[in-house]
Structures are given as structure tokens and as C-alpha cells.
Structure 1
């Protein structure tokens, strides 16, 4: 087991002993770094860690011995990135809920490239599927990496469209890298791991919870220059990511068709906010995004009018 694997193993053991509290685990981990004991066996310093976490020393040892086999069984093609890793994506550093480690299978370099999230409902309309397809193609052609969450529906269409056109894609998942969810996308995840990148903030020891997918969306937004919500219901995961994107001062794109759809409220709630673009054609997205990045249009100030501009 190399140094970064050992560090991740220690952190995950602390996390388990702390009953999933990332704040407590991070505090104990940082103290161990300060004391230069993080590279030594965790059980040798179980009492020290126990005092930092406020638990019994046995809880540290038990967690370590349960988790270690899962790390030892991890696929050798998986790269673990920590904050000090040369390939760590710095764009996530200034945002809330920054993970301590990332687990990446595939081309790690893609995390450093400009990417855009293409996301939406698991039950899209035919028009939604067509928009996701054209969006992924337009972004890939413009040199952006297409990111999505590997879910059924819009996410799967975006990934497959990028792959079919020979463009790179990143799947940011809400499960450990050694799990496949949904099961229907097992083959797709494996393909992305070969020609793109699969990214998770969750170690192989993680027991997946429903709220992990919101952490997945936060991470996906942080990794991306912008998020495109193709279609979604009120309160859906893609809509939650839209809010994360604006919170992180990223850009958000929504389609005019969503704004005109009065069966949902979210598009009109976002449409007039700063850094939000309403578009009709996917082909306009890369140009508008490039323009916004150059001029910093809308960052930190409210717009006086909806950014539909006069393109249509």
C-alpha cells in the first residue's frame, strides 16, 4: 500500500470511528499531519486519535481493521488524490463540503480541463433527450469535457452522446468507485473509466446514503465551469445542483422550453438571477459561456434583464 492509499485509509478509519463526522475526522487527521504520525500505523497511535475524536481507542482499531481489506482490494487502476496531490483539481478548494480525498478511475488529467455539467431528470421527454444530445455534442466540439452524474435519463444521454462523438466525459458518482449505480449503467461506467474518468468522493468503505448524491452534485458543480439543467422536476437533483452552481459563483444554463413550461416553477425562479443564461439552441451555449468567462458578466451583480440577449 503506497503513501496516499495509507493516508486515505487512515482518514476513512477516523471517519468511521467518528460515526461519519467529516469535521471530527478532518480535525484528527490534520492534527496527525502536524505531529508527523500520519504515515505510521494507525493502531500505534490509537489512544492519541481516540482522544482527538472523543472515542474509545478500541473504536479506532476496530474501524481500521474493518476498512483496511477494502482498500487492499481496490482496483489498481484507481488513483487517489489528496489536497497536496499535483493533480488535485484546485477549482474545488474554495467551496463548501470539499472532500479530503478523491477516487478517480481513468484519465485523471480531465479533472484539470474545462468542463460543463449536463444534467437533468431521470425520466426525460423526447425533446429533453434531443437537447441533452445536442448539448453534449456542442460542448465537446468546443473543447469542453462533458460532465454528468451517470444517472438514468438525461445524464446517461449526455455521457453516451459524448462517447459516441469521441469527446471526453467525466462521470461524478454518488457511490464508491467500486460500486455501480444504477445497475443499468454498469457497462457505461466501465466504458467511461477506460476513455474518460469516473470520479467519487467516497472511499470503498463507504455505505451509500441517499444524501450522498447531493454531495455528488456539489462536487460536480465545483469541478465544472457551468451547469446545464436540460429538464427536471421541482426539487430534483439537477435543480439542487443549479442552486449549488450559483452558490459557487459558477454559470447556469437553462432552456427556454423549461422556462415556458408552467408545470414546473424552478426555471422562472432561476431565470433572472445573475450568472444565469436562458438559451434556445445548444449550439449557442459554448459561445455564451466563453464570453461570460472573458467578461465575468453577471458575477457578483444582479442583471437588469434576462440574459436571452438578442440571439434569437
Structure 2
């Protein structure tokens, strides 16, 4: 037997995931779903044979070809129960002019009597009576919402809270929205090594440069950088990841069909192609000013930690810090921010447990102490919880440069 050839055909889990272009978490999910079979499983690791990986890759290419041939118009179709439910939900948000928080219990009560995955037009009388809405207005709102949904890209996805695709970290927090609208590499939502970089839209050149450098260092350590695609710190964080070939997620305060601010449109399109864009707002939503601080709850919920790179007393970054406190997530503050005597907020957050950092090594050291609680095991019917410690390799930060300054 040619053992050298056999060795070349056997892949460890990380190498297998890289071969397929997915995360190791997604690979593990495919194994659990029996969509890919390991060559061998043992306490020391899982091995995969190249033939099985090629088989899976071929299946994916056939699927992609089918999608291309059957979606020539690029039209988004309401072809799943989750898509239909989200369309119904968006219709009610507009018709009732209420927040998601107020609508959730009403829809849950309605679902106890009726099928909320049926088109509203099939249950107009029931919806009208239960929600005290004029039938004609309801139908009109539904048609407008459906038209807005049709303008999504054909491969955009809608994830429902509680489904297997919904990100685990976010699902643990109160601010987890009922639906997430995503465009790009959905597999990035399986990552739990995630950090938000936030700060002022009118950031100083020094802070933007520090943010870029930090995003690059975090990406080199396999950490996904999350930010909000705003001017200043946010876009610097995204570019630090993108321009160096690392993962980034943009959590936006508009729906997926909008590009705001317009000056960051090219960056958003690049993230759609190389990373992931996430919105909690349906395409039928009219963007409101309060959407932007609201999305900070999702950003924090998707992240193990939030790092504030630079912020004034009224910065929206502090809203995310407040969410992080509620969600029991780490808050890290750049040292130069603490040294700014013109602002008082840093002391308040340090008193509440925020940690001051001045180098990528400091950040990684803090992440290495994070214990991710409540990771749900699908094997347990009662969803027993596990405790996982985030693994970061401090040795990859070869120079202790203080780039957060």
C-alpha cells in the first residue's frame, strides 16, 4: 500500500472545511445531518477522505448550476414556510405600525389558532378580525410587502429565530430578532470566534488606522470581524479584514436592498461577495432613525466581545456597550480612549467590568478567557448546555506592537 498517497487523500476537519470553503462548524453540522461521511472518527479528531469531499463539492456545483438555470431573472421567490411567515410578519408590522417587540406576542397568539405560514390572502377574514384591520388595507399592505420582497436577490436567505440556521450566539440574547435577512456567506454565522469593532463616525485618522490594523491582526488569528458599515471606525474595520483576505460581517441598520451611507456602497457590495451582510429589517420596512441603535443589539449578540476604538459622549457605540452589558458579553476599550480627559464615559464602563486594551495581544488574551455558555446540543432533547472556551493562538501575534493607540 502506498501510505504516502493515502496520507495525501486524508484530511483533518479544518483542512476538509477549507477544501469545501466552509467553516468547521458548518462541516460538523453536515456530518450530523449525514450529508457527508467521515473516513474515521476518534477522540483525537475526525478524518475525511478526498473522495467524500469531492462528492460533496460536486453536489454543491450541481445545485449552483440548477439555481443559475432556474433563476435567470434573479427574482426572489416566496417558496418556503419561513419566507412566507416573514412576509406575513412584515405586512402586519406595516399595517399595524408597531414594533417587532409589540407584534411578537400577538402573532404568537394568532398562531395558536391559525397557520401563520399560509399567505395572508388565504386568511384575510381571520387576520382582519384578530388584528382589527380593514381587509382591503391588509390586502394592499400584503401586496406592497410582497413586491418589496421580490426585489431581494434570488439567493438571499431569511432565518427564523429557533431554526437550526439561526446563529447560536445571537439566539441566547433578548435582542435576537424574529427574522434575520442575510446576503453572502451564511456559514459565517456558524462562527463563534467573533468580535465587533465600533466607534465614532467622525473618527480621527489615528483611530481609523488603529482599527484597520487590529482587524487585520484579529483576522490573522481566525477571528471574524463584525461592524456596522457606518463611516469612520466601522468601515475601517471591514476594510482591515477584506483587504487582507479575512472574514467580516456587516450588520446594517437598513434592509438588504439599501446601501447606506452611499459612500460605502462599494464596500457593502464587496462584503456581499466575500463576507456576509445581515439585517433584521425586512425589505418592506421603511428605514427609521431608531433602526441604527436597534441593530447594535444584534451586533453585540453576534459577538463574543465589543471593542470601542474611539467614541464621544453621545456616540452610538455606547448603545452597543449597553447591549453588551445586558448580554453578558465583554467590553474592551482602547487605551487611548481612556486617556482622553475630555470624555467621562470610559470610567463608567470600566467600573462595570470593561477592560482596557492597547495591543492585539491584549485583545486575544481577553478572548482566550471567554467561556461561551449555552451552546445547544442538538443531540439532547432537553437542550443541555455545554461550556466552551474560545481558543486563540497568541503565538501568531509575533510582534507585540501597540496598534490600538
Q: TM-score, normalised by structure 1?
A: 0.89
Q: CA deviation at 1:36?
A: 4.7
Q: 1:201 pairs with 280, 292, 309, which one? A: 280
Equivalent residue in structure 1 for 2:366, among 279, 288, 299: 288
Which of these residues, 166, 173, 180, is aligned with residue 88 of structure 1? 166
> For residues 121 and 106 of structure 2, what CA distance do their matches in structure 1 show?
14
Name the residue aligned to 1:45. Answer: 123
My pick for the range that moved more, 20-29 or 3-12, is 20-29
Q: 1:57 aligned to 2:135?
A: yes
1:32 positional shift: 4.3
Return the alpha-carbon distance in structure 2 between the equivalents of residues 161 and 138 of structure 1: 9
Which residue is equivalent to 1:68? 146
Higher relative contact order (CA 8 A, sep 6+): 1
In the alignment, is residue 190 of structure 1 matched against residue 251 of structure 2?
Answer: no
- Distance 1:292-1:31 versus aligned 2 partners, 3 A rule: closer
Residues 114-153 of structure 1 aligned to structure 2 (within 5 Å): 114-153=193-232
1:199 match: secondary structure: strand
Greater C-alpha radius of gyration: 2
State the alpha-carbon separation in 2 of the partners of residues 231 and 80 from structure 1: 33
Matched, 1:9 2:75: no
List alignment gaps of at least 5 residues for structure 1.
296-311
TM-score by length of 2: 0.69
Gaps of 5+ in 2: 1-77, 374-401
Structural RMSD (CA): 1.8
Are the aligned partners of 1:138 and 1:283 in contact in 2 as well (CA < 8 Å)? Answer: no
Aligned residue pairs: how many?
A: 295
Tell me: CA distance 1:152–1:11, structure 2 relative to 1, closer, same or farther (3 Å): same
1:250 Cα deviation from its structure 2 partner: 0.2
- Local SS of the residue matching 1:87: coil
Larger CA deviation: 238-247 vs 174-183: 238-247
- Over 3 Å counting, the alpha-carbon distance change for 1:14 and 1:166 in structure 2 is same
Question: Structure 1 242/23 Cα, relative in aligned 2: closer, same or farther at 3 Å?
Answer: closer
Q: Deviations over 1:18-72 (max 9, x none)?
A: 1133244323432443335223221221222223323333332221011111112
Say if 2:290 is the partner of 1:214. Answer: no
Offset, 1:89: 0.9
Change (3 A) 1:292 1:44: closer
Indicate the SS of the match to 1:216.
helix
User: SS in structure 2 opposite 1:105?
Assistant: strand
